Structure 1
Amino acid sequence: MSPGIMFQQWFQVQQLNADVLFNPVIFFPLFFSILYLFKLSTSKKLNLPPSPPKLPIIGNILQVGKQPHRSFRTLSEKYGPVMLLHMGQTPSLVISSAEIARQVLLTHDAFIERPRIRVVETLFCGCTDIAFCPYGDYWRQAKKICVVELLTQKRVRAFQLVREKEVSRMIEEIRQLSQSGSAAALWEMFQAISNNIISRSVLGRVYEREDGNKGFGELSKQAMDLIGAFCFKDLFPYLGWMDNLTGLTARLERISSELHSFLDDVIEEHLAMMADGDKLDSKKDFLDILLHLQQNGMLDIGLTQDNLKAILLDMFIGGTDNTAATMEWAMAELIKNPSIMKNAQEEVRRVVGKKSSVSETDINEMNYLKCVVKETLRLHTPVMVTRQNPSATKLGGYDIPAKTIVLVNAWAIQRDPKLWDKPEEFIPERFLNSSVDFIGQHNQYIPFGVGKRVCPGISFAVASAEYTLANLLYWFDWKLPGSQSCEDLDMDDCYALIIRKKAPLHAVPVLHSFS
């Protein structure tokens, strides 16, 4: 065979091979397979935290279920205190160790950020509040305003009159129920009083519209529900358009528009009042103080109207349901444990005596009541603490990918048998003569978080809870409706952004006889 014919045959074979190779059906899978193998061979293998098996696309969502605080604890018992989950396409790191939690919240600056989810971005005007604001100069100055000007011990004491008036209204409502032998819907009452105390302290009065539209309290509740709603964009970014089909986008736009419009009106109302003459300092609410600082150039940052609205929303959404849930759990535990109820009531009534009202000075002498509140926040901490690392980092010897959502399961840590004696039991006495407190100095007790992102409203929330509970225990004895005994009380919880009692608490008040 001549060399020319041989070359022609060879060329035809190569052309055939090329046609096969560059066929799109074959070429693209082959190309990406080679690219993937090349990436595997050249990339450093990460030492990721232990993780349970995951399903394609949805990851570990089904394993988490509707009670994440409980399922996280169960999974951590098998996979360890530092555990990586995949919630859809979002990596999530669950921390169930007190020591590792302290690193995340206090000593490891890589985890200083909070996750920025879609609903939060919209409600809080691009995360210009304090809770979700990116760490930086603006966040430092905004938090400083709250800590130094709004939420100091002196300012909290100044709003004692607000607490007294709102609690007095609630006590009168309960007194009327006691005359008819009716049960009090305590969850609803605690939500209302928490909202009213915050509203009067922050905005000067309770804003409920007379035109049939929703008041600010109802709108803020709907905003809370939205933050806890399922969002495709957060878990499956490429499926964000599905939020339009589920109705989330429309609800978010409507509620956010109503909230912002409402706050715009309130700010304009306050500005008009300031133009007519300043209120007495003792009558100023949080918004008055913010506007005064803004207008007199006393801030290191410029606060826009959107910034003001975001900070005001923080106080409502961060404080209302958390405080209400704590009070409901406290009353449920007291009713469930009659001997503890008896001890608490005896202390409150001994301290107050036969005075016509409970004073703030009285509260300072109620050590056992303070232990009841501490134990409630230990056994029923309302939230899991969240963080996020903007860049890849290491924690506990593991590689943590960038933009991992970190969930510190305070609920599990505060029930850890290695850290607490009889952790599943309600024992306020454990805090008597104990230095363990809310401020985060002890790894095993972090109901308000710890470190730079610790909740700035601790004093305000605790003061409201203690004063309300003291009055309920002073004026009334309590029993369950019908023939229910204390052993019958359902103490199951549910997760709806906060960890609250699944079955709302109803109890029958009996006006106490001091004779």
Structure 2
Amino acid sequence: MEALIIFSLIVSSLVFFATYWALIKSKTSKNLPPGPPKFPILGNIHQLGGPEGPHRVLKNMARKYGPIMHLQLGQVPTVIVSTPRLAQEVLKTHDAIFADRPITEASTLFIYNAQDIVWAPYGNYWRQMRKISTMELLSAKRVRSYSFIRDEELMHMRKSLVSSAGKPTVLREFMVKYVNDVICRSTIGDTYKDQSALIEVLFDIMKAVIQFNVASYYPSMQFINIINGKRAKWLKTQKKFDNILEDILEQHRNNRTTLSHDQEDLVDVLLRVKETADLDLPITNDNVKAVILDMLVAGTSASSMILEWAMGELMRKPTVMKKAQDKIRATVKGSVITDADIQNMHYLKMVVKETLRLHGPPFLIPRISRKDCVVDGYDIPAKTRILVNALACATDPDSWEDPESFIPERFENSPINYWGADFEFIPFGAGRRVCPGITFGVGIIENALATLLYHFDWKLPGEMKPHELDLTEATALSTLPKHPIQVVPIIVSLEK
């Protein structure tokens, strides 16, 4: 043990001098963006703590140091952009230069050496898999084929809420179950019965990838994860997940001969493409499993989060809630909400947009510069990590009136949308790496919110007033409300 301590001290000293020298060298040889003072070894890591979360810390920091900032996070040089103009420069003007993702130990281990779509290095393989996702996995026709799954799960959620009518109910439990069931059935079908085990290991993976990891900021000190047992724990989790996916793939191979294309889930589509498509780069089982992980993680976390925030904001704004309900109930002609009804629910769509603006992902998934570049007159060296503060863009006072307030009407007669062309509103990203599953994800949200507002009225528990509802953000693993929202569902009779 004494030898281990001495070894760690020697390595730490070397890291100290290497980092300190890199800071001095970069400062004198490059016109880097401005930023806060840096401590030796730590750089600026210590400044990202606090109860409000790093996205709000950096948003506030940008007011002092400017909309483009350079931070040294351990050994990792990082540039943060916080305005729509600079987001456009990074994600559109210099999109090809910033098209790569940083590769971490966690993403490499869990995502099959980053052979998915989200984290794969920019290149021929990524382009091929991106094409498969847009043309096959998440095409408009494919998304429509899953609508019956969504409708069935909405019916299950509605029945569960009916049984809870008149009682204080934690809405998050219903949202999470609905979204998880839709995503899992659409991705892996109905053949895998132990969905709870799958969801549990997915959460463990998300926790491992998101949580603070010293080695992510000090790449030369990867041995720390071996010493503290973190890598062994990750390997165990990854093995468990891999075994589950192997079972799922085997079941699908055995059942595929009886399916038409319209009956395929996402695993079926991937296996068909793998075996029959004329691909420039053949894909392997590990490639298939990596993409499955993408689909499961991207869908199960974000959609339920947006639904809870939407209901929370509506509960705090009873007049907005009533307006949304009145317009929805005037649109639906029977007891079943159809896709055509959803397309005519313009105010509902404004509510969803405003929720995404205020509560979408606070940061876009990091990018990394592939070569030296100049942004806004500042040098961005190759291998610099790039963070786009999407929350700061979505609440930019030069782009939005009263930006911190929940006002769905701001989208009335507005051309601004979330497809990636309007950089003041990029909850799904922009450029080459824009999320390919926008239609699928937004459909899950819109249909669920319409169901909740059409079939139920909603009250807060006891004598609680709307302004007393606590919508403080949690910042440990997500930006969910820190305290799960409790509401009282009231069944509505809608005879027409």
TM-score (norm 2): 0.91
Answer whether contact 1:199 1:207 (CA < 8 A) is retained: no
Task: Flag the 1:242–1:345 CA change in 2: closer, same or farther, 3 A.
Answer: same
Look up the match of 2:237: 255
Structure 1 unaligned segments of length 5 or more: list them. 1-32
* Unaligned residue ranges in structure 2 (runs of 5+): 1-16
Q: CA deviation at 1:256?
A: 0.9
Matches within 5 A, 1:72-221: 72-108=58-94, 109-178=96-165, 181-205=166-190, 207-209=192-194, 215-221=197-203
Structure 1 residue matching 2:43: 3-state secondary structure: coil
Question: Are residue 480 (structure 1) and residue 460 (structure 2) matched?
Answer: yes
Counterpart residue type for residue 316 of structure 1:
L
Q: Specify the SS of the correspondent of 1:110.
A: coil
Structure 1 position 43, deviation (Å): 11
In structure 2, distance between residues paired with 1:193 and 1:223: 21
TM-score (norm 1): 0.88
AA in 2 matched with 1:70: R
Q: Distance in 2 between matches of 1:273 and 1:292?
A: 12
What's the secondary structure of 2:480's corresponding residue?
strand
Q: Identify the residue that residue 491 of structure 2 maps to in structure 1.
A: 511
Count of residue pairs the alignment pairs up? 472
Once the 2 structures are TM-superposed, how far is the Cα of residue 241 of structure 1 from its aligned partner?
2.2
- CA contact under 8 A between 1:199 and 1:206: conserved in structure 2? no
Q: Quick check: 495-504 or 401-410, which moved more?
A: 495-504
Partners in 2 of 1:459 and 1:138 — Cα distance? 24
Higher-Rg member (1/2): 1
* Aligned counterpart for 1:491 among listed residues 467, 471, 478: 471
Deviation of residue 87 (structure 1)? 1.4
The one-letter code of the counterpart of 2:55 is: H
State the AA in 1 paired with 2:359.
H
Return the alpha-carbon distance in structure 2 between the equivalents of residues 100 and 43 of structure 1: 22
Aligned to 2:218: 236
* C-alpha distance in structure 2 between counterparts of 1:235 and 1:51, whole Å: 18
1:225–1:496: 8 Å Cα contact kept in structure 2? no
What SS does structure 2 have at the residue aligned with 1:50? coil
Root mean square deviation of aligned Cα: 2.1
Which residue of the partner structure matches residue 46 of structure 2? 62
Question: C-alpha displacement at 1:195, in angstroms?
Answer: 1.4
CA distance in structure 2 between the partners assigned to 1:110 and 1:496 by the alignment: 31
Aligned sequence identity (%): 39
**1:49 counterpart (21, 27, 33):** 33
Separation in 2, partners of 1:166, 1:419: 38
Instruction: In structure 1, give the amino acid aligned to 2:210.
Output: G
What are the superposed Cα offsets for residues 218-262 of structure 1, whole Å, 9 maximum, x if unpaired?
Answer: 211111111111212211223322223444212211111111111
Per the TM alignment, residue 126 of structure 1 is displaced from its structure 2 partner at its CA by 0.5
Matched residue of 1:251: which SS?
helix
Report runs of 4+ in structure 1 exceeding 4 Å deviation. 39-44
Equivalences for residues 19-30 of structure 1 within 5 A:
none
Aligned counterpart, 2:313: 333
| Aligned residue type for 2:125 | Y
Residue 384 of structure 1, aligned match among 363, 382, 387: 363
Q: CA offsets, 1:413-453, max 9 Å, x none? A: 11111100110111111111111111111121111111100
Deviates more, 1:380-389 or 1:364-373: 380-389
Q: Give the Cα separation in 2 of the matches to 1:122 and 1:206.
A: 27
Match of 1:9 in 2: none
Tell me, yes or no, if the aligned pair for 2:59 and 2:392 is still in contact at 8 Å: yes
